Amino acid sequence: MLIKPKPNGIDLPYPSEITPQHVYEQRRRFIAQVAAGAVAGTALWEMANREAFAQAAPLQKLSAKLNPAYSALDKPTAFKDATSYNNFYEFGTDKSEPAVNAHTLKTRPWTVSIEGEVKKPMTLDIDSLLKLAPLEERVYRLRCVEGWSMVIPWVGYSFSEIIKKVELTGNAKYVEFTSLADRAQMPGVGSRVLNWPYVEGLRLDEANHPLTLLTLGMYGQTLPNQNGAPVRVIVPWKYGFKSAKSIVKIRFLKEQPRTAWNLAAPSEYGFYSNVNPQVDHPRWSQATERRIGEDGFFHKKRATLMFNGYADVAPLYAGMDLKKFY
């Protein structure tokens, strides 16, 4: 594997490489226990998962009709895999930590404020969001920048329904999503991995594309906490971190917003962050991927598709240099 030098020439870690202190200390305690023969690692982990799921709020069934026009034919990832291997730094930097830690998130009451360049600013609670438009089930591929992917039946409706509801002014060019950042509920908030709260953004035409999904559930139920409950956005042709979780604020802006990962490591994470196998991450290739639950460690990796296989978004970027606007 080719290790590329840091762009600034100084051998300091990127924020994305830093393990928060509480996670480091937790791991040290765990290793000490195993070394002393106090616990068996696998049994302890399974017990922690069972306890976390037992403490989490029960998921509510959602009535949603499958939209075949926006559904991949790929085999869906098993629910167990999709809910136990997650990126959600507010609950820990390891992929397995959100499933254990996110039971502390309180998803009711919950409101989302919609403001900025809109004629009708409003604040909607989660029940109003569930009823704002007919719910659809869409089977989307989701690819993470680290090279793994999943196929998940999400439940929601096109984000364009929100845009119609608030009536934008002529100045609106971008949309910014802000996630909850509450240390009392989220043990990872306050770490130096990112600047909190977590912020993501899209260009307005990206947000208005019918594929962009305001997401309120998965697998026919409300979202589990570790998957971004109670409301998130899914942008299936972009890397997974562009899909903001646990959203509390949506702002329509004149100027391009500064996003969490772009601020933390601008040489690695650009504003657009489209799935593009021709543009490597500075520390690894993006040309291939592994499908969680299907592709074992010794299984040959599968080729990553341009725009994650959602070719109908290509006109959004006509004439743009996608290596420059990564």
196 and 280 co-located in one domain: yes
Please give the average per-residue pLDDT across 12-34, as a whole number: 42
- Checking if the pLDDT of 264 tops 80, the result is yes
The predicted pLDDT at position 252 comes to: 98
The predicted pLDDT at position 184 comes to: 97
214 and 85 co-located in one domain: yes
- Give residue 30's identity as a one-letter amino acid code: F
Residue 113, helix vs strand vs coil: strand
Mean pLDDT of the chain: 88
- Checking if the pLDDT of 146 tops 70, the result is yes
The answer to whether residue 96 is domain-embedded is yes
30 and 121 co-located in one domain: no
25 and 109 co-located in one domain: no
Neighbours of 13 (CB within 10 A): 9
Please give the average per-residue pLDDT across 315-322, as a whole number: 97
The helix (H) or strand (E) run that includes residue 250 is strand 247-253
Question: Residue 57 to residues 229, 230, 256: CA-CA distances in angstroms?
Answer: 11, 11, 36
- State the pLDDT confidence band at 41, using cuts at 50, 70 and 90: very low
51 and 161 co-located in one domain: no
115 and 44 co-located in one domain: no
The predicted pLDDT at position 37 comes to: 43
Here the CATH number for the domain that contains residue 182 is: 3.90.420.10
- State the pLDDT confidence band at 298, using cuts at 50, 70 and 90: confident
Domain hosting 105: range is 61-317
- Checking if the pLDDT of 24 tops 80, the result is no
48 and 157 co-located in one domain: no
140 and 47 co-located in one domain: no
The predicted pLDDT at position 72 comes to: 95
Please give the average per-residue pLDDT across 220-247, as a whole number: 98
How many residues are listed for the chain in this entry? 326
- State the pLDDT confidence band at 297, using cuts at 50, 70 and 90: confident
Closest CA to 290 of 304, 280, 276, 279: 304
CA angle 213, 107, 130 (to 5 degrees): 40
Contacts of the segment 125-129: beta carbons below 8 A, 24+ positions apart: 126/216, 126/230, 126/231, 129/214, 129/216, 129/231
Q: What's this model's pTM, rounded to 2 decimal places?
A: 0.84
The predicted pLDDT at position 254 comes to: 98
pLDDT digits (tens, 9 = 90+) for 85-130: 999 999 999 999 999 999 999 999 999 999 999 999 999 999 999 9
The answer to whether residue 124 is domain-embedded is yes
The answer to whether residue 13 is domain-embedded is no
Number of domains observed in the structure of the chain: 2
